[in-house]
Protein backbone atom coordinates (compact mmCIF):
# COMPACT_ATOMS: atom_id res chain seq x y z
CA UNK A 1 0.00 0.00 0.00
CA UNK A 2 1.48 3.37 -1.04
CA UNK A 3 -1.37 5.59 0.16
CA UNK A 4 -1.67 6.93 3.69
CA UNK A 5 -5.36 6.24 4.31
CA UNK A 6 -5.44 8.23 7.55
CA UNK A 7 -4.30 11.36 5.73
CA UNK A 8 -6.60 10.75 2.78
CA UNK A 9 -9.67 10.19 4.95
CA UNK A 10 -8.99 13.45 6.77
CA UNK A 11 -9.58 15.16 3.42
CA UNK A 12 -13.23 14.04 3.42
CA UNK A 13 -15.36 15.61 6.18
CA UNK A 14 -18.24 13.16 5.57
CA UNK A 15 -16.02 10.27 6.62
CA UNK A 16 -16.24 11.46 10.22
CA UNK A 17 -19.70 9.87 10.21
CA UNK A 18 -19.69 6.29 11.55
CA UNK A 19 -20.59 4.77 8.20
CA UNK A 20 -18.94 2.70 5.50
CA UNK A 21 -19.50 4.29 2.10
CA UNK A 22 -19.57 1.56 -0.53
CA UNK A 23 -22.20 3.37 -2.59
CA UNK A 24 -19.48 5.26 -4.47
CA UNK A 25 -20.44 4.21 -8.03
CA UNK A 26 -23.62 6.23 -7.55
CA UNK A 27 -21.72 9.25 -6.22
CA UNK A 28 -18.65 9.70 -4.06
CA UNK A 29 -18.21 11.78 -0.93
CA UNK A 30 -16.89 15.31 -1.49
CA UNK A 31 -13.29 16.30 -0.87
CA UNK A 32 -12.54 19.12 1.56
CA UNK A 33 -10.85 21.12 -1.21
CA UNK A 34 -14.07 20.94 -3.24
CA UNK A 35 -16.22 22.06 -0.31
CA UNK A 36 -13.88 24.96 0.38
CA UNK A 37 -14.01 26.06 -3.26
CA UNK A 38 -17.82 26.01 -3.23
CA UNK A 39 -17.97 27.98 0.01
CA UNK A 40 -15.44 30.58 -1.14
CA UNK A 41 -17.20 30.99 -4.46
CA UNK A 42 -20.57 31.70 -2.87
CA UNK A 43 -19.09 34.16 -0.36
CA UNK A 44 -16.48 35.96 -2.45
CA UNK A 45 -17.34 35.64 -6.15
CA UNK A 46 -21.04 34.88 -6.49
CA UNK A 47 -22.10 36.65 -9.70
CA UNK A 48 -23.40 35.92 -13.16
CA UNK A 49 -21.21 35.65 -16.22
CA UNK A 50 -19.78 38.51 -18.25
CA UNK A 51 -20.14 41.50 -15.96
CA UNK A 52 -17.76 44.46 -15.87
CA UNK A 53 -17.38 44.34 -12.09
CA UNK A 54 -15.09 42.49 -9.72
CA UNK A 55 -17.18 39.55 -8.57
CA UNK A 56 -18.29 38.70 -12.10
CA UNK A 57 -14.74 38.91 -13.39
CA UNK A 58 -13.54 36.74 -10.51
CA UNK A 59 -16.31 34.23 -11.20
CA UNK A 60 -15.38 34.05 -14.88
CA UNK A 61 -11.74 33.51 -13.92
CA UNK A 62 -12.68 30.52 -11.75
CA UNK A 63 -14.69 28.98 -14.60
CA UNK A 64 -11.74 29.46 -16.94
CA UNK A 65 -9.39 27.93 -14.37
CA UNK A 66 -11.65 24.90 -13.97
CA UNK A 67 -11.86 24.42 -17.71
CA UNK A 68 -8.08 24.54 -18.00
CA UNK A 69 -7.63 22.10 -15.10
CA UNK A 70 -10.16 19.69 -16.60
CA UNK A 71 -8.35 19.87 -19.94
CA UNK A 72 -5.15 18.91 -18.12
CA UNK A 73 -6.89 16.07 -16.27
CA UNK A 74 -8.14 14.54 -19.54
CA UNK A 75 -5.09 15.69 -21.56
CA UNK A 76 -7.29 17.63 -23.97
CA UNK A 77 -5.51 19.77 -26.55
CA UNK A 78 -7.04 23.03 -25.29
CA UNK A 79 -9.44 24.29 -22.61
CA UNK A 80 -12.05 25.19 -25.24
CA UNK A 81 -12.59 21.44 -25.74
CA UNK A 82 -14.22 21.21 -22.30
CA UNK A 83 -17.98 21.78 -22.03
CA UNK A 84 -19.43 22.13 -18.53
CA UNK A 85 -23.04 21.31 -17.69
CA UNK A 86 -25.45 19.89 -15.12
CA UNK A 87 -24.64 16.19 -15.62
CA UNK A 88 -23.42 13.64 -18.13
CA UNK A 89 -26.95 12.66 -19.20
CA UNK A 90 -27.98 16.22 -20.07
CA UNK A 91 -24.74 16.85 -21.96
CA UNK A 92 -25.18 13.61 -23.92
CA UNK A 93 -28.71 14.58 -24.91
CA UNK A 94 -27.39 18.00 -26.02
CA UNK A 95 -24.79 16.33 -28.22
CA UNK A 96 -27.33 13.88 -29.61
CA UNK A 97 -29.51 16.84 -30.65
CA UNK A 98 -26.51 18.47 -32.30
CA UNK A 99 -25.54 15.27 -34.08
CA UNK A 100 -29.07 14.91 -35.44
CA UNK A 101 -28.05 17.52 -38.02
CA UNK A 102 -25.18 15.27 -39.15
CA UNK A 103 -26.61 11.72 -38.88
CA UNK A 104 -29.30 10.78 -41.37
CA UNK A 105 -31.76 8.05 -42.30
CA UNK A 106 -29.87 4.96 -43.42
CA UNK A 107 -26.88 5.62 -41.14
CA UNK A 108 -26.03 3.22 -38.33
CA UNK A 109 -25.38 4.02 -34.65
CA UNK A 110 -23.62 1.38 -32.56
CA UNK A 111 -24.31 1.09 -28.82
CA UNK A 112 -23.55 -1.68 -26.33
CA UNK A 113 -25.56 -3.70 -23.85
CA UNK A 114 -22.88 -3.06 -21.23
CA UNK A 115 -23.64 0.66 -20.94
CA UNK A 116 -25.50 2.93 -18.55
CA UNK A 117 -28.75 4.05 -20.12
CA UNK A 118 -27.42 7.61 -20.41
CA UNK A 119 -25.20 6.27 -23.19
CA UNK A 120 -28.06 4.34 -24.78
CA UNK A 121 -31.32 6.29 -24.63
CA UNK A 122 -30.00 9.53 -26.19
CA UNK A 123 -28.90 7.52 -29.23
CA UNK A 124 -32.19 5.61 -29.38
CA UNK A 125 -34.02 8.95 -29.44
CA UNK A 126 -31.63 10.22 -32.12
CA UNK A 127 -32.35 7.14 -34.21
CA UNK A 128 -36.10 7.61 -33.78
CA UNK A 129 -35.83 11.26 -34.82
CA UNK A 130 -33.60 10.69 -37.86
CA UNK A 131 -34.64 7.26 -39.08
CA UNK A 132 -31.16 5.83 -38.68
CA UNK A 133 -30.51 2.27 -37.56
CA UNK A 134 -29.27 1.12 -34.13
CA UNK A 135 -26.88 -1.82 -33.85
CA UNK A 136 -26.30 -3.26 -30.37
CA UNK A 137 -23.05 -4.95 -29.39
CA UNK A 138 -23.47 -7.68 -26.80
CA UNK A 139 -21.37 -8.72 -23.81
CA UNK A 140 -20.60 -12.15 -22.39
CA UNK A 141 -22.83 -12.72 -19.34
CA UNK A 142 -20.31 -15.23 -17.93
CA UNK A 143 -17.38 -12.79 -17.88
CA UNK A 144 -19.03 -9.37 -18.02
CA UNK A 145 -16.75 -8.46 -20.93
CA UNK A 146 -17.76 -6.83 -24.18
CA UNK A 147 -17.93 -9.24 -27.13
CA UNK A 148 -15.01 -8.02 -29.25
CA UNK A 149 -15.96 -10.16 -32.24
CA UNK A 150 -19.46 -8.74 -32.20
CA UNK A 151 -17.95 -5.25 -31.97
CA UNK A 152 -15.72 -5.93 -34.99
CA UNK A 153 -18.71 -7.23 -36.93
CA UNK A 154 -20.60 -4.05 -36.08
CA UNK A 155 -17.69 -1.96 -37.40
CA UNK A 156 -17.94 -3.79 -40.72
CA UNK A 157 -21.33 -2.10 -41.10
CA UNK A 158 -19.55 1.29 -41.31
CA UNK A 159 -21.47 3.10 -38.56
CA UNK A 160 -21.68 6.88 -38.35
CA UNK A 161 -21.39 6.90 -34.54
CA UNK A 162 -20.13 4.39 -31.98
CA UNK A 163 -20.94 4.89 -28.28
CA UNK A 164 -19.46 2.76 -25.50
CA UNK A 165 -18.36 3.01 -21.89
CA UNK A 166 -14.87 3.21 -20.47
CA UNK A 167 -16.01 1.12 -17.48
CA UNK A 168 -19.35 -0.47 -16.66
CA UNK A 169 -21.18 1.19 -13.79
CA UNK A 170 -22.97 -2.12 -13.13
CA UNK A 171 -20.28 -4.79 -13.48
CA UNK A 172 -17.05 -2.84 -13.05
CA UNK A 173 -15.70 -4.07 -16.39
CA UNK A 174 -13.05 -1.83 -17.98
CA UNK A 175 -13.43 -1.92 -21.74
CA UNK A 176 -10.41 -1.98 -24.08
CA UNK A 177 -11.26 1.57 -25.12
CA UNK A 178 -8.07 2.24 -27.09
CA UNK A 179 -8.64 -0.84 -29.25
CA UNK A 180 -12.34 -0.10 -29.68
CA UNK A 181 -11.61 3.49 -30.69
CA UNK A 182 -9.06 2.41 -33.32
CA UNK A 183 -11.56 -0.03 -34.81
CA UNK A 184 -14.35 2.56 -34.82
CA UNK A 185 -12.21 5.29 -36.36
CA UNK A 186 -10.99 2.86 -39.05
CA UNK A 187 -14.66 2.28 -39.89
CA UNK A 188 -15.16 6.04 -40.29
CA UNK A 189 -17.27 6.53 -37.17
CA UNK A 190 -17.44 9.25 -34.56
CA UNK A 191 -16.56 7.85 -31.12
CA UNK A 192 -18.43 8.82 -27.94
CA UNK A 193 -17.06 7.42 -24.65
CA UNK A 194 -18.86 7.43 -21.31
CA UNK A 195 -16.02 7.68 -18.76
CA UNK A 196 -18.20 8.46 -15.74
CA UNK A 197 -17.29 5.23 -13.94
CA UNK A 198 -13.61 5.19 -14.91
CA UNK A 199 -12.68 8.80 -14.18
CA UNK A 200 -12.38 8.30 -10.38
CA UNK A 201 -10.24 5.19 -10.82
CA UNK A 202 -7.57 5.69 -13.46
CA UNK A 203 -5.75 8.03 -15.88
CA UNK A 204 -7.51 9.22 -19.05
CA UNK A 205 -5.81 10.65 -22.14
CA UNK A 206 -8.28 11.70 -24.83
CA UNK A 207 -5.55 12.60 -27.30
CA UNK A 208 -3.91 9.19 -27.07
CA UNK A 209 -7.29 7.49 -27.30
CA UNK A 210 -8.26 9.54 -30.33
CA UNK A 211 -11.94 9.63 -29.37
CA UNK A 212 -14.15 12.45 -30.61
CA UNK A 213 -16.14 12.91 -27.40
CA UNK A 214 -15.77 11.76 -23.80
CA UNK A 215 -18.01 12.51 -20.82
CA UNK A 216 -17.60 12.24 -17.06
CA UNK A 217 -19.19 13.62 -13.88
CA UNK A 218 -17.53 15.51 -11.02
CA UNK A 219 -19.83 13.99 -8.41
CA UNK A 220 -18.31 10.61 -9.23
CA UNK A 221 -14.78 11.93 -8.58
CA UNK A 222 -15.18 13.66 -5.22
CA UNK A 223 -16.84 16.88 -6.36
CA UNK A 224 -20.37 18.29 -6.76
CA UNK A 225 -23.07 17.58 -9.34
CA UNK A 226 -21.44 18.87 -12.52
CA UNK A 227 -21.07 17.12 -15.88
CA UNK A 228 -18.07 17.44 -18.19
CA UNK A 229 -17.98 16.83 -21.92
CA UNK A 230 -14.74 16.71 -23.90
CA UNK A 231 -15.08 17.20 -27.63
CA UNK A 232 -12.52 17.74 -30.38
CA UNK A 233 -12.49 21.47 -30.99
CA UNK A 234 -13.15 21.33 -34.73
CA UNK A 235 -16.17 19.11 -34.16
CA UNK A 236 -17.58 21.30 -31.41
CA UNK A 237 -17.20 24.32 -33.69
CA UNK A 238 -18.81 22.51 -36.60
CA UNK A 239 -21.84 21.07 -34.78
CA UNK A 240 -25.12 22.93 -34.57
CA UNK A 241 -26.05 23.97 -31.03
CA UNK A 242 -29.54 24.62 -29.71
CA UNK A 243 -29.03 27.91 -27.85
CA UNK A 244 -30.65 31.24 -27.10
CA UNK A 245 -29.69 33.97 -29.57
CA UNK A 246 -27.56 36.14 -27.23
CA UNK A 247 -25.47 33.10 -26.15
CA UNK A 248 -21.99 32.53 -27.62
CA UNK A 249 -21.88 31.10 -31.11
CA UNK A 250 -18.50 29.46 -30.46
CA UNK A 251 -17.54 26.35 -28.52
CA UNK A 252 -17.67 25.58 -25.71
CA UNK A 253 -20.10 28.33 -24.70
CA UNK A 254 -22.66 27.51 -27.37
CA UNK A 255 -23.32 24.16 -25.65
CA UNK A 256 -23.51 25.60 -22.12
CA UNK A 257 -27.16 26.58 -22.16
CA UNK A 258 -28.51 29.03 -19.61
CA UNK A 259 -26.65 30.05 -16.48
CA UNK A 260 -24.32 27.30 -15.36
CA UNK A 261 -23.88 26.01 -11.82
CA UNK A 262 -20.89 28.25 -11.14
CA UNK A 263 -20.42 27.22 -7.51
CA UNK A 264 -20.49 23.58 -8.63
CA UNK A 265 -17.88 24.33 -11.27
CA UNK A 266 -15.73 25.93 -8.58
CA UNK A 267 -16.21 22.74 -6.55
CA UNK A 268 -15.08 20.71 -9.56
CA UNK A 269 -11.84 22.67 -9.51
CA UNK A 270 -11.51 21.75 -5.84
CA UNK A 271 -11.97 18.06 -6.66
CA UNK A 272 -9.21 18.32 -9.25
CA UNK A 273 -7.05 20.00 -6.63
CA UNK A 274 -7.56 16.91 -4.48
CA UNK A 275 -6.06 14.84 -7.30
CA UNK A 276 -3.15 17.28 -7.51
CA UNK A 277 -2.50 16.81 -3.79
CA UNK A 278 -2.63 13.04 -4.19
CA UNK A 279 -0.17 13.09 -7.07
CA UNK A 280 2.25 15.39 -5.29
CA UNK A 281 2.00 13.46 -2.01
CA UNK A 282 1.77 9.82 -3.08
CA UNK A 283 2.66 9.69 -6.78
CA UNK A 284 6.46 9.70 -6.73
CA UNK A 285 6.90 5.99 -7.40
CA UNK A 286 4.64 6.28 -10.47
CA UNK A 287 6.62 9.11 -12.04
CA UNK A 288 8.66 6.89 -14.35
CA UNK A 289 5.49 5.53 -15.96
CA UNK A 290 4.76 8.92 -17.49
CA UNK A 291 8.08 10.81 -17.73
CA UNK A 292 8.49 12.22 -21.21
CA UNK A 293 4.78 11.94 -21.99
CA UNK A 294 3.44 14.70 -19.73
CA UNK A 295 4.70 17.69 -17.78
CA UNK A 296 3.47 19.98 -15.03
CA UNK A 297 -0.04 19.46 -13.73
CA UNK A 298 -0.83 16.90 -16.43
CA UNK A 299 1.96 14.71 -15.13
CA UNK A 300 0.84 15.14 -11.52
CA UNK A 301 -2.70 14.04 -12.42
CA UNK A 302 -1.41 10.91 -14.13
CA UNK A 303 0.74 10.07 -11.10
CA UNK A 304 -2.26 10.51 -8.82
CA UNK A 305 -4.54 8.27 -10.86
CA UNK A 306 -1.87 5.60 -11.23
CA UNK A 307 -1.35 5.56 -7.44
CA UNK A 308 -5.10 5.26 -6.88
CA UNK A 309 -5.37 2.47 -9.42
CA UNK A 310 -2.64 0.43 -7.72
CA UNK A 311 -4.27 0.72 -4.29
CA UNK A 312 -7.76 0.04 -5.60
CA UNK A 313 -6.56 -3.27 -7.08
CA UNK A 314 -6.20 -4.43 -3.49
CA UNK A 315 -9.73 -3.29 -2.69
CA UNK A 316 -11.05 -5.17 -5.73
CA UNK A 317 -9.17 -8.28 -4.70
CA UNK A 318 -10.57 -8.16 -1.15
CA UNK A 319 -14.15 -7.59 -2.32
CA UNK A 320 -14.05 -10.44 -4.83
CA UNK A 321 -12.52 -12.90 -2.37
CA UNK A 322 -15.05 -12.08 0.36
CA UNK A 323 -18.08 -12.29 -1.94
CA UNK A 324 -16.89 -15.52 -3.55
CA UNK A 325 -16.84 -17.17 -0.11
CA UNK A 326 -20.50 -16.35 0.55
CA UNK A 327 -22.91 -19.31 0.11
CA UNK A 328 -24.84 -19.05 -3.15
CA UNK A 329 -23.12 -15.86 -4.32
CA UNK A 330 -22.65 -15.11 -8.02
CA UNK A 331 -20.40 -12.24 -9.10
CA UNK A 332 -21.20 -10.64 -12.47
CA UNK A 333 -18.13 -9.14 -14.10
CA UNK A 334 -14.41 -9.93 -14.27
CA UNK A 335 -13.08 -12.01 -11.36
CA UNK A 336 -9.55 -12.87 -12.50
CA UNK A 337 -7.38 -11.76 -9.59
CA UNK A 338 -4.31 -11.97 -11.83
CA UNK A 339 -5.64 -9.24 -14.11
CA UNK A 340 -7.36 -6.62 -11.99
CA UNK A 341 -6.77 -4.00 -14.70
CA UNK A 342 -9.88 -5.50 -16.30
CA UNK A 343 -12.09 -3.85 -13.68
CA UNK A 344 -12.64 -0.96 -11.32
CA UNK A 345 -13.45 -1.75 -7.65
CA UNK A 346 -17.19 -1.96 -8.34
CA UNK A 347 -18.39 -5.52 -7.71
CA UNK A 348 -21.98 -6.62 -8.36
CA UNK A 349 -23.45 -9.91 -7.26
CA UNK A 350 -26.57 -11.84 -6.29
CA UNK A 351 -27.34 -14.37 -3.56
CA UNK A 352 -29.51 -17.42 -4.14
CA UNK A 353 -31.13 -17.04 -0.73
CA UNK A 354 -31.83 -13.30 -0.51
CA UNK A 355 -33.17 -10.68 -2.92
CA UNK A 356 -30.90 -7.67 -3.54
CA UNK A 357 -33.16 -5.21 -1.71
CA UNK A 358 -33.11 -7.34 1.43
CA UNK A 359 -29.31 -7.53 1.38
CA UNK A 360 -28.94 -3.77 0.87
CA UNK A 361 -31.44 -3.07 3.66
CA UNK A 362 -29.59 -5.41 6.03
CA UNK A 363 -26.29 -3.69 5.30
CA UNK A 364 -27.97 -0.32 5.76
CA UNK A 365 -28.91 -1.29 9.34
CA UNK A 366 -25.17 -1.79 9.91
CA UNK A 367 -24.41 1.64 8.43
CA UNK A 368 -22.83 0.03 5.38
CA UNK A 369 -24.12 1.76 2.26
CA UNK A 370 -24.51 -0.20 -0.99
CA UNK A 371 -26.85 -0.03 -3.96
CA UNK A 372 -29.35 -2.54 -5.28
CA UNK A 373 -31.33 -2.66 -8.51
CA UNK A 374 -30.21 -1.84 -12.05
CA UNK A 375 -28.39 1.48 -11.43
CA UNK A 376 -29.81 2.75 -14.75
CA UNK A 377 -27.84 0.01 -16.51
CA UNK A 378 -31.12 -1.46 -17.70
CA UNK A 379 -29.54 -3.22 -20.67
CA UNK A 380 -27.16 -5.07 -18.34
CA UNK A 381 -29.74 -6.43 -15.90
CA UNK A 382 -32.07 -7.29 -18.78
CA UNK A 383 -29.31 -9.20 -20.59
CA UNK A 384 -28.44 -11.06 -17.38
CA UNK A 385 -32.10 -11.99 -16.83
CA UNK A 386 -32.14 -10.18 -13.49
CA UNK A 387 -34.42 -7.21 -14.16
CA UNK A 388 -37.51 -9.04 -12.99
CA UNK A 389 -35.91 -10.34 -9.79
CA UNK A 390 -34.58 -7.13 -8.27
CA UNK A 391 -31.37 -6.70 -10.22
CA UNK A 392 -28.00 -6.75 -8.48
CA UNK A 393 -26.29 -5.86 -5.22
CA UNK A 394 -23.53 -3.36 -6.04
CA UNK A 395 -20.55 -2.70 -3.77
CA UNK A 396 -18.22 0.04 -4.96
CA UNK A 397 -14.99 1.06 -3.26
CA UNK A 398 -12.74 4.03 -3.90
CA UNK A 399 -9.40 5.34 -2.65
CA UNK A 400 -10.73 6.55 0.71
CA UNK A 401 -12.07 3.10 1.61
CA UNK A 402 -9.94 0.81 3.77
CA UNK A 403 -9.34 -2.92 3.74
CA UNK A 404 -10.77 -2.96 7.27
CA UNK A 405 -14.04 -1.54 5.90
CA UNK A 406 -14.13 -4.32 3.31
CA UNK A 407 -13.67 -6.88 6.09
CA UNK A 408 -16.51 -5.30 8.07
CA UNK A 409 -18.71 -5.52 4.97
CA UNK A 410 -17.85 -9.22 4.79
CA UNK A 411 -18.71 -9.74 8.47
CA UNK A 412 -22.09 -8.06 7.97
CA UNK A 413 -22.78 -10.23 4.94
CA UNK A 414 -21.99 -13.41 6.86
CA UNK A 415 -24.71 -12.48 9.35
CA UNK A 416 -27.24 -13.39 6.66
CA UNK A 417 -26.31 -17.08 6.81
List all residues 6 or more positions away from 38 whose beta carbon is below 8 Å from its beta carbon: 224, 263, 264, 266, 267, 270
List all residues 6 or more positions away from 244 whose beta carbon is below 8 Å from its beta carbon: 257, 258
Residue 388 has what pLDDT?
Answer: 95
Q: For the chain, how big is the Rg over CA atoms in Å? A: 21
Condensed to tens digits (0 to 9), the pLDDT of residues 259-288 reads 999 999 999 999 999 999 999 999 999 998
Number of domains in the chain: 2
Condensed to tens digits (0 to 9), the pLDDT of residues 374-415 reads 999 999 999 999 999 999 999 999 999 999 999 999 999 999
Residue 210's SS3 state is coil
Question: Which of 272, 307, 324 delimits the end of a domain?
Answer: 272
% of the chain surpassing 90 pLDDT: 99
| Cβ count within 10 A of residue 265 | 27
φ/ψ (deg, to 5) at 393: -100, 125
Burial of 292 (0-12, 13-18, 19+ CB in 10 A): exposed
Residue 98 has what pLDDT?
Answer: 97
Verdict on whether the full-model pTM lies above 0.85: yes
Asked whether residue 394 is assigned to any structural domain, the reply reads yes
Please tell me whether residues 244 and 338 are part of one structural domain: no
Condensed to tens digits (0 to 9), the pLDDT of residues 114-160 reads 999 999 999 999 999 999 999 999 999 999 999 999 999 999 999 99
Asked whether residue 289 is assigned to any structural domain, the reply reads no
- Length of the chain measured in residues: 417
The answer for 303, left when phi > 0, alpha when psi is -120 to 50, beta otherwise, is alpha
Please tell me whether residues 254 and 319 are part of one structural domain: no
| Cβ count within 10 A of residue 374 | 22
Please tell me whether residues 205 and 72 are part of one structural domain: yes
Please tell me whether residues 49 and 21 are part of one structural domain: no
pLDDT band at 108 (very low <50, low <70, confident <90, very high): very high
Least Cα distance to 183 among 218, 215, 210, 217 occurs for: 210
Burial of 392 (0-12, 13-18, 19+ CB in 10 A): buried
Condensed to tens digits (0 to 9), the pLDDT of residues 340-379 reads 999 999 999 999 999 999 999 999 999 999 999 999 999 9
Q: Is the pLDDT of residue 322 over 80?
A: yes
Please tell me whether residues 96 and 136 are part of one structural domain: yes
Residue 2 has what pLDDT?
Answer: 82
Q: Report the alpha-carbon distance of residue 245 to residue 126 in Å, rounded.
A: 24
327 within 8 A of 417, measured Cβ to Cβ: yes
Q: Is the pLDDT of residue 228 over 70?
A: yes
244-259 residues labelled b (16+ CB within 10 A) or e (exposed): eeeeeeebbbbbbbee
CATH code, 343: 3.90.1150.10
| Structural domain boundaries enclosing 18 | 5-30+299-414
Asked whether residue 46 is assigned to any structural domain, the reply reads yes
Asked whether residue 188 is assigned to any structural domain, the reply reads yes
Please tell me whether residues 198 and 184 are part of one structural domain: yes
Please tell me whether residues 128 and 93 are part of one structural domain: yes
Condensed to tens digits (0 to 9), the pLDDT of residues 204-220 reads 999 999 999 999 999 99
Q: Is the pLDDT of residue 1 over 90?
A: no
Residue 291 has what pLDDT?
Answer: 85
Asked whether residue 279 is assigned to any structural domain, the reply reads no
Asked whether residue 284 is assigned to any structural domain, the reply reads no
Amino acid sequence: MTLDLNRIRQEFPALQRPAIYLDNPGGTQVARTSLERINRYLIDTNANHGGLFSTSRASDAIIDETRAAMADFLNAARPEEIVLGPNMTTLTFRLSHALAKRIHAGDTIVITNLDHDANISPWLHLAADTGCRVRRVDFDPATGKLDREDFKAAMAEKPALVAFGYASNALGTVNPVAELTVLAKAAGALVYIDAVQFAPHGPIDVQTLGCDFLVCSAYKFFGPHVGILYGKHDLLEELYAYRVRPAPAEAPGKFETGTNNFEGIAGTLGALEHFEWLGQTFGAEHLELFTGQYAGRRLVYKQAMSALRAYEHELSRALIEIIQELPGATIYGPTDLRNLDERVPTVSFTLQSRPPAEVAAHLGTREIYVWNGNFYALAVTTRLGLEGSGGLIRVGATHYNTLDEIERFGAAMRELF
